[in-house]
Amino acid sequence: MESPALLLSPPAANPNHPPFSFSPHRVLWPPRRNLRPLGCSLSTSSGRATRRPPLGSPRVVSEMASSTGGESYTTLLEYVGKGGADVGDDLVVLLCHLQYACKRIAALVASPFNAELGRGGGGGVPSSSSSSKRDAPKPLDIVSNDIILASLRKSGKVAVMASEEDDVPVWITDDSPFVVVVDPLDGSRNIDVSIPTGTIFGVYNRLAELDHLPVEEKAQLNSLQSGKRLVAAGYILYSSATIFCISFGSGTHAFMLDHSTGEFVLTHPSIQVPRRGQIYSVNDARYFDWPDGLRRYIDTVRQGKGQFPKKYSARYVCSLVADFHRTLIYGGVVMNPRDHLRLVYEANPLSFLIEHAGGRGSDGKTRILSIQPVELHQRLPLFLGSVEDMHELESYDSIQQKINPGYDV
């Protein structure tokens, strides 16, 4: 891309129509330097966010508050602070900056004046790590990547960031405690038709034993940690609501963005994926390319002849975060049976989330979190879902698709 400063103005007025009585907003990136992330002011005594709703704004009550009869809500930063999960000051600061970046991406994705970015206008240069035009980065991916990188730099808590949009990891600073891996904007090719998109991330501890190595080598090795070493993982869903879902290894929790306060509010504490669902999510237009085992499994469950004696329904958005979020809440399985999804940026974080919600993540044979990455952009089949559905699916002989004819859509 050219200059990182993107001033996107609305289209010129049509002379055949009368002028509007108001001035349309403009979206400015990067933000002015004197702006500070909303919700990042923390009390040193309690660790709770000090920002409160403006006078006259509606009160938001989370499911947690409703179930306990409480009158207040719990924000993301309150939850992770000393009054809640107490994940540590360094991680709280990192999350403060990351959630601010995701609020900016949510606004960018929803802006009518950025439609050209979503269509790929602006001359984005495909990364050499992409295997097809379908996966070539689009300008909106790159802008989202820049937003996240800038926020992580300002946090002072991230040593290295590895992104799906970059060929190699970016070393940020020597002494910071964390490593972040991220898919900045999954499903961005769907933006032009307003289909949900998302950000996926994982957080690791920096491996201090690698500090003596050259920068390029230690950046690479820090980013290739096994999913079992994740400190935290999450996704942000940009849809009818903006959802921030995260796990620190003891439960999976979802927070919804309240636009009246600018805060992520806890709405789904301690999510438990149903042990069995009644939905499968896969692009079954590829049915005839699948191995026999996967075809038999799908044929069986949609006829109601599997271990669960009810017919399954198909639900497929073709946006990984959206399909995963539905599976996390309703149960069932979401899958891509071919070597397509990335182990580091997608499979590991989502498997971490679903395992800590009582589900399972697999490549069809092996638990995802036990696979040691060997390449930064390593791809593999991915199956995620309810534990009973996953066990039934994996009982079939062959469910990994070996034929890859090179799909255009």
Please give the positions annotated as active site: 135, 141, 164-165, 183, 185-186, 346
Quickly count: other Cβ atoms within 10 Å of residue 23's Cβ. 8
Q: Contact 364/381 with Cβ under 8 angstroms?
A: yes
